[in-house]
Amino acid sequence: AVVSTQSTGNKNRTVAATKCNERSSRSHSVFRLKIEGRNTKNGDSCVGNLNLVDLAGSERVAHSGSTGQRLKEAQAINTSLSELGNVIMALNEKKTHIPYRNSKLTYLLCNSLGGNSKTLMFVNVSPLDKHTAESINSLRFASKVNRCDIGTAKKNK
């Protein structure tokens, strides 16, 4: 069932060429796996979600040459990444209101970003000199995420 679900998701994910990337993701991809465990000796059980998220990269429209539908996609990608940054900063600053509902991405990931959760992020950067500016922006975003302390996850009883 997992492979079938991933296959369906891959078929529905939009990829298109831009001046920056010949196979540019035009959307984020989220794979959520619900995991349930049960200790047969003492009856203890636990449930958790594992979210594997592939964020589409931010895009400088001037560099990518995006127009029409590609431009709308780039704007949506950039907006959702900006909102993710806003949520991370609000969590880091321990604000009373966290703007999870400002984007579909942050709303979908709200249980993974704050509260009783653990988050691990990998950042892919390009080794090419022509992509240095984008790589630096990606590393700045990762640094911002790394500075965020959301506390220690605990088992719910």
Q: What is the pLDDT of residue 71?
A: 78
What's the token pair of residue 87?
């949520």
**CB atoms < 10 A from the CB of 103, how many?**
20
Gap between the terminal Cα atoms of the chain: 30
- Residue 25: phi and psi, rounded to 5, are -65, 130
Q: For the whole model, what pTM was predicted?
A: 0.74
Mean pLDDT by runs of 10 across the 157 residues of the chain is 78 66 67 90 90 77 71 83 90 91 91 78 85 86 81 66
* Angle at the Cα of 66 from the Cα atoms of 140 and 17, rounded to 5 degrees: 90
Say if CB 36 and CB 60 are below 8 A apart.
Answer: no
Nearest to 47 by CA among 61, 57, 35, 39: 35
Q: What is the pLDDT of residue 156?
A: 61
Q: Which residue has the tokens 């509902």?
A: 101
What is the rounded CA–CA span in Å between residue 104 and residue 102? 7
